[in-house]
Structure 1
Amino acid sequence: MPRPRSLTPDQLASAALAVIDRDGLAGLSMRAVAQELGMSTMGLYRYVQDREELERLVVELVLSAVDTEPPDPDASWRERIEAMARRLHDAVGAHPAVVPLTITHRHRSLGVLRWSETVLSVLTEAGVEGERRVVALRGLLGYVIGAIQLEHLGPLSGPGTTAITELPPAEFPHMTETARQARDVDTEREFRGGLAMLLDGLGV
């Protein structure tokens, strides 16, 4: 008779997330998670089939922190979309190494589906429908995910930006000037500014 299960999906996901936060996505393996849980690798296979199942559990855990309830109905459509974008940004941004997993597993994640449903309801109410609504949703997802990656992998105040300021101005006049200006733009201003430009483009 098989031993009864003693670990919940959230416990498994928490252990896998701890590995990712500490060692990066490349460090995620059945063995590493088993060690995090203090059990044998074979013992972990009693709970999940493979690494892909662990990934799905991690994505669901991270996205379960996203508040998917409709924002204040008295707010403007832009304010509600901004609130939804901020919620997703903050939840996933707390674990930036998980970003690639959210892209890979987004179609199976209830968290993403519920977030998307709320966003679509706001867009529909604002008169954004059909193809424009498809592009708007994918554009918002792409923007939030991309913003998180840029904030953590290529920050404006990082060495990459400094290196650009030292390029030959005669050959890269716009790049060097923009890089110098970028040092005065923090991640919050960058996120809000980019989101505002995206929403302006909807022309509602």
Structure 2
Amino acid sequence: MSDTPPEQHVDSVFYRPPRKRRTESPLSRDRIVIASVALLDRDGASALTMRKVAAELDVHATSLYWYVQRREDLIDLALDHVLAGPAGDLPGDDVPWDEVVLRVAKQYYDAFAAHPWAAGFAGTRPLIGPNAMALAGRIIAALTESGGAEKDRMIAATAISQQVLGAATTAVVARGLSNAPAEDYAAAVGTPQTLDIWLPSFDDVLTLLVEAIRTRLNPTGPTT
């Protein structure tokens, strides 16, 4: 999630008018993004280069520069791509604000945890793509419905964002440990039971966080 206002005009692929597809080229921005996500899922963050994405598409690397300017563009577009599903399934206006926060934060987390590279990139890049903005905007709108003070709502939004990114990163690390040889796993965390104690489920932590936010935003309880 990001609170970077569009008027700052950071140098981002999302603020540049996209070029039209060349009629003689089999390429498109969508194909480049899909190939980037496939490469990242298979080979990891370090594998993402313009040359390797071009190889995925069986084209020359220079062909990509009509659609993207640099590697950071690929990262930003890939991040927003994996958020497309959640952004298209947002809770409606009839859903209570705290339930909206729970559901949308969980959607965010699930999307990032499903792609081991995503949380690491998201922690270093401004999430200002249309899907990311739709998700963040829905959480902010829900917090506004709570009636709490603006400063407290922004604190709450930041806490949710940090929990999503931190938990997704931890989930990826834990998944890697669980796939390690038994002796390495034991040396790192002890037993699977130990890991379960120190890594409670995202849902449990998020529920606790939202309970705290509810108290902070409305300390006197709901009015009748």
CA contact (8 A) 1:96 1:152 kept: yes
From 154, 157, 161, give the equivalent of 1:134: 154
- State the one-letter code of the partner of 1:162: A
- Separation of aligned partners in 2, 1:113 and 1:43: 29
1:163 corresponds in structure 2 to 187
Displacement of 1:38 in angstroms is 0.7
Displacement of 1:89 in angstroms is 1.4
- Separation of aligned partners in 2, 1:148 and 1:117: 20
CA contact (8 A) 1:120 1:137 kept: yes
Matched, 1:195 2:215: no
CA contact (8 A) 1:59 1:102 kept: yes
- Separation of aligned partners in 2, 1:77 and 1:39: 47
Deviates more, 1:148-157 or 1:26-35: 148-157
Displacement of 1:80 in angstroms is 1.8
The C-alpha deviation readout for 1:65-109, integer Å capped at 9, x for no partner, is 223555254543322211111111122222121222223333422
- Separation of aligned partners in 2, 1:3 and 1:70: 36
The change in CA–CA distance for 1:22 and 1:72 in structure 2 (over 3 A counts) is same
The change in CA–CA distance for 1:53 and 1:111 in structure 2 (over 3 A counts) is same
CA contact (8 A) 1:59 1:98 kept: yes
Instruction: Flag structure 1 segments of 5+ consecutive residues without an equivalent.
Output: 167-178
- Separation of aligned partners in 2, 1:98 and 1:30: 18
2:5 corresponds in structure 1 to none
2:123 corresponds in structure 1 to 103
Instruction: Flag structure 2 segments of 5+ consecutive residues without an equivalent.
Output: 1-21, 219-224
Give me the identity figure in percent: 27
From 60, 65, 88, give the equivalent of 2:85: 65
Displacement of 1:143 in angstroms is 0.4
- Separation of aligned partners in 1, 2:24 and 2:161: 40
2:35 corresponds in structure 1 to 15
CA contact (8 A) 1:10 1:61 kept: no
CA contact (8 A) 2:76 2:127 kept: no
Q: Which has the higher contact order (CA 8 A, sep 6+)?
A: 2
1:92 corresponds in structure 2 to 112
- Separation of aligned partners in 1, 2:210 and 2:62: 49
Scaled by the length of structure 1, the TM-score of the pair is 0.79
- Separation of aligned partners in 2, 1:127 and 1:198: 18
- Separation of aligned partners in 2, 1:5 and 1:137: 43
The change in CA–CA distance for 1:164 and 1:45 in structure 2 (over 3 A counts) is closer
1:106-125 matches, within 5 Å, as 106-125=126-145
- Separation of aligned partners in 2, 1:28 and 1:183: 31
